[in-house]
Amino acid sequence: MLPAFGAAPASAADSLPADAVYRNGHVYTVDARDGVQHALAVRDGTIVYVGDDAGVKALIGTSTRVVDLRGRMVMPGLVDGHMHPLDGGTVLLGCNLNYERLTVAQMQVKIQGCLDQTKDKEPGTWLVVSNWFQEAMLPAGTITSRAMLDALHTQRPILVESSFGHTGPANSRALQLAAITAKTPDPLGGVYARDASGNPTGLLQDAAFEGMQSKIPERTPAEDVKAAEAALDAMRA
């Protein structure tokens, strides 16, 4: 947490000397106002001050490393070179299992909660559930199927997406819309999990999973804007 820009440290703890102070610079904060300041202080690996040069003086001690930026720019590091911000924003706004370790019953409760919050989407709008931690289901070795999703109170097609993006269960309504039956052959590079009678259980892998994703209507421009705003808010935080 940062103190108000330009403000003096608020407590005795905040007044302890910083490990490093950077001043006389162009500090781009990427806050909600895209604010620019002149000085920054770091203690124990945490930014403890962003503000003007006068305010940072109180954090300079005998062992503080002081760097004169000479007008140069400081900005947050570009530490992730591979991102999907629009998809990430969509996940933030949708039904999200947040990589949690869940039993089947707990997973059902969470997905039903998403359905209950979006009853206006009944009966035909797809529900896409993100960030399912398949390998961490409880108890260990739990295998999911469409039966888990068919037990929920809804008529909507449902697809659950694993956290690594290659597998997921779909309910019977989704399988019906995708015309997937016991007679449907596995696609090249994909698998429809099947029961002893050859009927699809609803668990989809790789190309089979991607084929189901292709049945979901594309986002509208308005939905893209909301997703982008959510992603930008998360990155600024």
Same domain, residue pair 43 and 148: no
Residue 176 located in a structural domain: yes
Query: Residue 1 — very low, low, confident or very high, per pLDDT cuts 50/70/90?
Result: very low
Is residue 64 classed as helix, strand or coil in its secondary structure? coil
CA distances from residue 180 to 29, 162, 193, 218 in whole angstroms, order as listed: 51, 20, 11, 21
Residue 27 and residue 50 in contact, taking contact as beta carbons nearer than 8 Å: yes
Model pLDDT, residue 58: 94
Mean pLDDT of 97-121: 97
Q: What digits encode the pLDDT tens for the residues 205-236?
A: 999 999 999 999 999 999 999 999 999 999 88
Rounded-to-integer distance, Cα 21 and Cα 47, Å: 10
Residue 13 and residue 29 in contact, taking contact as beta carbons nearer than 8 Å: no
Same domain, residue pair 60 and 129: no
Model pLDDT, residue 14: 63
| CB-neighbour burial class of residue 135 (10 A; exposed 0-12, middle 13-18, buried 19+) | exposed
Q: What digits encode the pLDDT tens for the residues 20-72?
A: 999 999 999 988 888 899 999 999 999 999 999 999 999 999 999 999 999 99
Rounded-to-integer distance, Cα 103 and Cα 137, Å: 6
CATH number, position 147: 3.10.310.70
Residue 126 and residue 149 in contact, taking contact as beta carbons nearer than 8 Å: no
What number of CA atoms fall less than 13 Å from residue 122's CA on the CB side? 12
Greatest distance between any 2 Cα atoms in the chain: 77
* C-alpha dihedral (176, 127, 131, 141), degrees to nearest 10: -40
Q: Taking the model in full, what pTM does it have?
A: 0.68
Residue 132 and residue 96 in contact, taking contact as beta carbons nearer than 8 Å: no
Same domain, residue pair 31 and 144: no
Least confident range from 1-5, 97-101, 140-144: namely 1-5
Mean pLDDT of 95-116: 97
Work out the mean pLDDT of the chain and round it to a whole number.
91
Model pLDDT, residue 141: 92
Residue 115 located in a structural domain: yes
Per the structure, the complete domain to which residue 33 belongs is given by 13-74
Point out which residues pair with 27 in neighbouring strands.
37, 74
Query: Residue 5 — very low, low, confident or very high, per pLDDT cuts 50/70/90?
Result: very low
Model pLDDT, residue 34: 84
CATH number, position 35: 2.30.40.10
Residue 232 located in a structural domain: no
Same domain, residue pair 63 and 101: no
Q: Which two tokens stand for residue 90?
A: 């969509």
Model pLDDT, residue 215: 95
- Please give the order of strands across the beta sheet that includes 158-162: 95-96, 127-132, 158-162
Match 């449902």 to its residue by tokens.
158
Same domain, residue pair 60 and 162: no
Alpha-carbon 56 to chain mean position: 35
